[in-house]
Amino acid sequence: MGEQEGRYPIILADQADNPGGGAPSDSTEILRLFVERKLDKAAVMYVVDRESVAAAKQAGVGATVQLQAGGKSHPLLGPPVPLTAEVLALSDGRCKYDGPMWAGRDEFHGDSALVRQGGLYVIFISEMCQPVDLAFSRSLGLDCRQMRYLALKSTGHFRSGFGPIAGSIYNVDAQSLLSQDFNKLPFKNLGRKVYPMDPDAQVDWSPQPLSPARPA
């Protein structure tokens, strides 16, 4: 839809891998898709992957490094994606937000690296953080406004900083641990049909009386 409308960047919110909700932030389904489609001016932010950061740091800025990107925290989030990437920037992960949500607040992403394979950019970090605004990517030299495709590991917070630059936004339910498709979750003790896991479950939508307040 976004490509048909010709409005960029197209933002894919990788909501099931949102570290703000406790996901590991290293799922690889969207990263693999971007690689397979050889997308140009595309970026994935942020992949928590200390091994890839360490390899990039050891190689140094300007070097080409072989990486097994992401997919290390849990079998559901992998497998890792092989990358032959140029190291564009390294960082201690410190930045100050400048977007409308948390302007002026300090953030720490841990040791971090920006790498590029062809037209694909990936930001690896060591501590769990979701992309809230453009400050950190810009500190690494990545101008998200120039991208055509952005995959952001966030559900909603990203909209404060990235919404103003977006051509279109799509929340996607890629493979990870915070799927919002409840049918994918292994409930074992429900004992009855419950909506929305079972669309045909009987639901009483009528107003219910408030329970009496318990004495303090």
Residues 189-203: tens digit of each pLDDT: 877 777 767 777 777
pLDDT number for residue 188: 75
**Distance (Å, whole) CA 63 – CA 136:** 22
User: 105-110 contacts: CB < 8 A, separation 24 or more?
Assistant: 107/132, 107/136, 109/46, 109/136, 110/50, 110/53
pLDDT number for residue 150: 98
**Residue ranges of the chain with pLDDT lower than 50?**
none
Tell me the pLDDT tens digit for each residue of 6-20: 789 999 999 999 998
**Distance (Å, whole) CA 45 – CA 130:** 8
pLDDT number for residue 200: 78
Tell me the pLDDT tens digit for each residue of 23-46: 999 999 999 999 999 999 999 999
Helix then strand count (H, E) for the chain reads 5, 10
Q: Which amino acid is at 100?
A: P
> What are the tokens at 11?
């933002």
